[in-house]
Amino acid sequence: MQINSIDFITILGYFLLIAIIGIWSSKKAKAGDAANYFTSKGQLSWWAIGMAYVSTGLNSEQLIGMNGMGYQVGLPLVNSYLNAIFVFTFLIYIFFPMYLRNGIVTMPQYLGARFDKRSQDVFSILLLLSYIFLSLAVVLYGGAKLFEVIYDVPIWAGVLILALVSGVITIFGGMSSMVSASVLQFVLMFAAGAVLFYLGINKLPNGWQDIVDHAPGGFHLMQELDTPIMPWHAVLFSLFNLQLYYSCINQSLVQRGFGAKTEWDTRMAIVFALGFVLLRPFLEVFPGMIGRALAETGFSEFIIKADQIDNVYPLLIAKLVPVGMQGLIIIGILGAVMSTISAFLNSISTLITYDVYKKWINKTAEDKQLIKVGKWSTLILMLFSVFYAPLIGKFGGIFIYFQSLSTYMAVPIATCFIFGMFWKRTTPFAALMVLLIGIPLGACIQYLVIPTLFSDATIRAFSLQNFYVIGGITQFFCALLMLVFSYASAPRPVEEIKPYLWNKSMIRLPQHEKERPIWQSVELWWAIMLFIYLCLYILWW
């Protein structure tokens, strides 16, 4: 399909607006201040952080990949969002207090402070590789997939456009420009999602009931042990590794909270995000289920083959949204994509600047030098991604590629953070061994141990080749290794690591922060969110 002139002007205008925001934000930033450039330290309010957190998490891996899986798997995918009530609670009362009160800027920095330089270095390398080859590449590819399916724009061209505009935002404005752009993108993407959902529901003969009736495996969150992709035990296992890692240890997401004016702003931002996470399935899962329902109710143009699952969401836009309005929908979706790309570029450049350049190359570097390194890092990363991202299409669907590889990495890292925060006997040697062994251990369990010990029938019956299940099994053995290696090696003195051990005082806000009225209480709004989430679990169980 050729792009309509109205759609072209709309999309072009959006790209120009976002670029202007990046340049404008750069002029507002404090010149030569590295903390301001990378984290907007002390400048951001709760609502801006909350919007940025949500819009960063809502990326093309979610929009393209999750909707494709929504078409194929159905309601169980919504567990990934309802789990937020658990992992966001950990973020509010465990992880953010630990990070903020210890001046943590990068996630590897915590492992360095809690354990030693070796663990920090290994985690830095793992994180950089995952962002470059996994997260950033997937988001760029997913955004470019929209242009390919709807307007026949080659993947490489779509990747180039997205990388260039996102690079301008990040290079010139740093964190401030991303948060400014994220507020606009937050509004656009939810508006676009609402329009597409309405058009899909309106086209179904029986509306919502058709989604329920034609949901793969039935309209239930919890599925049998042999259910593909997300059986009930996979939901449980992923909570303590991939879900925990993604929400509480993910540099690109967590970094948004480091620029808060106060710790209260950070906490309230995450509670605020909890409210909008409830709407994300209507953007990221239900449209795919609408596509499945349309295919089942006589609309043959929505019949999708298994190897074309990433085409579901772009196809919905192409078939449901009138020409001339598609540009409005696409810029809403691009808002999510651009926000995430910018966040990844900023996070990677932060890691390179602080955990590589300042640590290994120039320990006395001043702020201006750090900012310069960060900008050059962003530019090089952007150029590399333009060449690598198009290759994602050769690895199968976005969802499987991203989720499976992310789980491999999340397991050892999440295990180190959990033990590091809650068990003072955990030793630097144990953490290092788990970080080094964890990923190859997962591959060994999947490809050697399980096929050798269990029959094909048993593997199918218990979903033992499911990457979430393998992640849970691997984490169990990582925990055992952590115990064994910790008792076999010497721990650091408690006095040295005490600030990096969680304690009950972190539940409360710091004493120096002012008291707030009850309607501004984090606990009040958290309790309201908890009630809503539990009601949804009961309703859709």
Which CATH number is 177's domain given? 1.20.1730.10
| C-beta of residue 482 within 8 angstroms of C-beta of residue 415 | yes
Range of the domain at 246: 5-540
At residue 480, the pLDDT reads 96
Q: How far apart are CA 136 and CA 211, in angstroms?
A: 32
15 or 468: which carries more pLDDT confidence? 468
Name the band, by pLDDT with cuts 50, 70 and 90, for residue 31.
Answer: very low
CA 514 remoteness from chain centre? 32
- In sequence order, what are the residues at sequence separation of 6 or more whose Cβ sits closer than 8 angstroms to the Cβ of residue 69? 77, 229, 285, 288, 309, 397, 399
pLDDT score, position 209: 92
What pLDDT is recorded for position 227? 81
Q: Give the count of domains, the chain.
A: 1
Q: Is the confidence at residue 368, as pLDDT, over 70? A: no
Q: Give the type of residue at 144.
A: A
Helix-then-strand count for the chain, H and E: 29, 0
d(CA 229, CA 469) in angstroms, rounded, equals 10
Spatial neighbors of 90 by CB under 8 A, at least 6 apart, are 244, 247, 248
User: Of 91-100, 115-124, 183-192, 398-407, which range is least confident?
Assistant: 183-192
Q: What is the pLDDT of residues 151-171, one digit of tens each?
A: 777 887 888 877 777 666 666
21-25, 337-341, 386-390, 470-474: which has the minimum mean pLDDT? Answer: 21-25
Mean pLDDT of the chain: 81
Question: What pLDDT, on a 0 to 100 scale, did the predictor assign at position 160?
Answer: 81
Residue percentage of the chain with pLDDT more than 70: 81
Grouping H, G, I as helix, E, B as strand and the rest as coil, residue 485 is helix
Question: Residue 369 carries which DSSP code?
Answer: H
Burial class (CB in 10 A: 0-12, 13-18, 19+), 436: middle
Measured distance CA(112)–CA(413) in Å, rounded: 13
Of 517 and 59, the structure prediction assigns the larger pLDDT to: 517
- Strand-pairing partners, residue 260, are 44
pLDDT, position 115: 94
More confident residue, 446 or 3: 446
